[in-house]
Chain A
């Protein structure tokens, strides 16, 4: 299995631009998670989906952030407009939910730099 795939791996953009991060979860997994990691705030859960339905988006910092999961094999996290404080590493993770919590498999992350 290829694992969780994220693209792009690195993104440098200017303040005010739209940024779209992409994630392909492990085939067969039915839960998908977006996290953000910074030195100051550590790892933060942004939003998660179960069977393509958003379950909890209380971690999304502002309305500038939105996430979609149109099908079981693809999810996007969009920031519009981007700001320098959005600079971070964004991780996508997937898991198989079968009535009990199980381990999550993380992608390599997208390092976002907003100048």
Chain B
């Protein structure tokens, strides 16, 4: 199975600043996803980016994918206190069709008011 590794493990910034999280993975993938988890809750899907895409936007979120470097980044612009959460990148478990996900350990983001 493949595994993404997020960097940094923890990030604390002031409200209004931008937050950037990075993810590296080991082998070729056909898509990569980002999820958010608030403390004690289930995961919420943020963005799915496919291997033929380089960048994708959703509201204040921007995700990039560099398949040559096997890395992805998640940028949250104009951060808010409500963005405080853990963020995970996820890659296909086996590369098959209806596939499960392999998650990294996550980046814990704290937005200081």
Contacts and interface: CB of A to CB of B under 8 A. Distances in A.
Asked if A and B bind, the verdict is yes
A52 to B, nearest CB: 12
Contact of A55 (B42, B98, B101, B103): B98
A102 B94 CA distance: 15
A108 B45 contact: no
A48 B98 contact: yes
Interface residues of B, number: 26
Contacts of B45: 103-105
Interface residues of A, number: 27
A2 interface: no
Interface string B94-113: 10111111111110000000
Interface residues of chain A: helix, strand, loop or mixed (majority): strand
Contact of B101 (A97, A99, A104, A109): A104
Nearest to A46: B100
A77 interface: no
Interface string B24-41: 000000110101000001
B44 interface: yes
Interface string B44-86: 1100100000000000000000000000000000000000000
Interface in A44-65: 45, 48, 50, 55-56, 59
Contacts of B104: 42
B18 to A, nearest CB: 24
Given A42-B104, A42-B105, A101-B92, A106 B97 contact: no
